[in-house]
Amino acid sequence: MTRVEDARLAAELGADAIGVVITARSKRRVELAQARAIVAAMPPFVTTVALLMDDSAETVRAVIEQVQPDLLQFHGNESDAWCAQFGRPYLKAVAMGEGAAALPRLRDYPRASGLLLDGHGLGEPGGSGKAFDWSLMPADLPQPLLLAGGLHAGNVGEAIRVARPWAVDVASGIEASPGIKDPQRLKDFIAAVRAVDRGGAAS
């Protein structure tokens, strides 16, 4: 999210979480003050997530202090120990672009609260719109697994049916342009997820 109004709409429509991208490697990057404004606008029980990618520990500490997100989410080559040093719950994104060869890396983050399996290649930033083979989603990991990469209203039901994730995450599939959400795409996406929750299309 880059705009308070988009984040509010997502919350009103029933999103469980919203994210603000801090890392400079993103076309969706927001300044800390704007990230704080978005996070502060969220109602209770909507989880706020700050996205980072190989940023400095100093930057992470500034995010914790100034943005005050519920969760940190790391997208780079950070180790489990590095991510855990801040004493905050964190999600680790794992690039699944290389397919099954990426699976061993999912075991490298025992302290992560959850793992985000994303469709892009190793070393690339997220928000790529690239999907991976959902059937690779493992069922034997201790943490919740979040599915990301190339999702949109037209495929998220099938993605959930195949991958059975804890949650789904979307960026480009609900946008009019990078960082600017399209209200109709956002509504359609959440409706498609809710249809699965009700035992609809993807049951």
Ligand X SMILES: O=C(O)c1ccccc1NCC(=O)[C@H](O)[C@H](O)COP(=O)(O)O
Residue 186 phi/psi, 5-degree rounding, is -65, -50
DSSP codes, 101-146: GGGGGGGG-TT-SEEEEESS-TT--S-------GGG--S--SS-EE
CB of 153 to ligand X, least distance (A): 12
Cβ-proximal residue to ligand X, closest one: 127
CB of 33 to ligand X, least distance (A): 19
Residue 2 or 36 with smaller CB distance to ligand X: 2
CB of 199 to ligand X, least distance (A): 25
Residue 67 or 148 with smaller CB distance to ligand X: 148
CB of 27 to ligand X, least distance (A): 6
Q: Contact, 127 vs 163, CB < 8 A?
A: no
Secondary structure class of 197 (helix, strand, coil): helix
Residue 145 or 170 with smaller CB distance to ligand X: 170
Sign of the dihedral defined by the CA atoms of residues 56, 65, 91, 173, in that order: negative
Residues that bind ligand X (CB under 6 A): 19, 21, 23, 25-28, 51, 53, 75, 118-119, 125-129, 148-151, 169-173
